[in-house]
Structure 1
Amino acid sequence: MINLSKKMKALIFSMVCGLLASSPTAMSADNLVLKMAYQPVADVSVDQSQIVWFRPNVLGSEQGNVNIYVDGEFQTALIPGSYTAFCVKPGTHILGAWLKDAPLYQGKQDMANSVSLAGGKTYYIQVSKGATTVSSMLQKGEANALLKQTRLQDILVSRASAVTACHYTSKDYNLSSDVMFDFGKSSLNNIKAGGREDVAKVAREIASESAKIVVIGHTDPIGSANSNRALGLKRAETVRALLIENGIKADNISVSTAGSNEPVATGCSGLPRNQKIACYAPDRRVVVRSYLK
């Protein structure tokens, strides 16, 4: 497989779209360049505010580019099924999303959408379905269910001077049910082939970077809330034991459970039980959260 640099991707993008470099425009929804599927973002330091702005690819979505502006300057352009994540200084900012506003680029002159952003907080903003400038701010759980269907828009270069590189306080390592636990399982003997090696890889990566580690167990929604919290905790404790086995100091690792409170699977509720169990597999995960030094 050929790995292309960002500059080369941008060049290919411009050639395919037949665009001038001065006209920021996103690709079509069936592009092959946006490779990176959504990864949940980590928390940022208190001197920054993080924004995750996304555009689900839902039935009835207006086609064309939605230009995203920060304080009247171009950040990126979103097509259906894409997202952007960026950071700014806390305080008041003008945030705008404009559908097909070329060639006049009205979004640059739009000073109406003033938003006050708090330090250390992440805001999730969904581009509206229709041809309108209005966007919706969502809670993390609701947003993540939609974001998992999107890919990162990392081709276009931001021109927003207020946007800065994010300073993350932690990094998440997601251990999926593909290598970890089947339905209702949580012990060392239940870990699937490849699971121990994946935990060992995580241990090697976090050995030098982490000041503190929290292992968080997750479950699917089948069963009671109490039993799911207990199951999530058992899964976290099992992974903690493996991290210690791989050289991480026990004093540096704590465990927690989210139970079934942070689902990522959708469209499973009406299925027969066996299909439902399979559908909910992405929820049966363990997250190793490494707090950076």
Structure 2
Amino acid sequence: MTARGRYFPVLLVCLLAGTSAADAASAASDPFGGRFTESARVGEDQAQVIYYRASDALAAGAANVYLDQELVTALKPGGYTVFCVSPGRHMLGAYLDDAPDYSGKTRELYAAAFKAGATYYLKVREEGLNQPMPVSKSTAEVELGDTREQIHLLSRASRAEPCRYYDFLDDPTFSVRDFSILADTAFNARGGMTEDGNRAVAAILDGLERVNAQIIRVEVEGHTDPMGTGSDNQAQAQRWADGVRRALIERGVPQSVVTATSAGSRMLVQHSCYGSRSEQQACYSPNRRIAVRVEVRTVKAR
């Protein structure tokens, strides 16, 4: 699937509240989407969760799945959901029939560290226990063959991310790509990003997408000229770096892989400018920049 290379929705959903009575009745009569096929790998910037209920589950009600105390979906027997999280510690669990007060999200959920690039197959425990039941891939994919995607609810889990799938090369190519954005054109006098700055950030990401490069890590570093005090230059360069970092995240780069630091005026590319203040500012302009270093893994498009 060509759309899997970047921003793929976590859940295909319809929100019952606010829909017509006919639409609500239709969704309620068939809350499922397509059948489970095969799990794909995610990159090192995410962990993938496949949560499901067996089709022969004895309890007829819904099992509300929570991620970090926010509702993901309500799994019915024979339903599954797929979502991704940033690597690290998260709380996760499923509660049978805790509507309408949804008390499960305020209780202590199962907490675990999710590893980068891993896929977790988790099954709802039908005996009333709320922690997920880890299942091996071979067992899960057999049981998932009888399930369909749960699509009737909108996920409220703010820490659930769109999964980014890649078709990895047998011998993947790792590389580092360096970019530079001029601060004079990227930011206005008030410190806000200009259209030129937004276009520069978009051009970086568009170029990486064209070669199907998986972003592993991004280091954003702000630089100023030597005019002004050291503390002011350090702060200004940090503001520029933070602005570019925000722009990258707004365009879909996971915030967990982007760092922003300041080099102040310690790494000049243009030295010894003379003349009036305006002449020096013009001469020193190449120093006022934001360096963007991107570590990537080159992959094949699906």
Larger RCO of the pair (alpha carbons < 8 Å, separation 6+): 2
The structure having more radius of gyration, on CA atoms, is 2
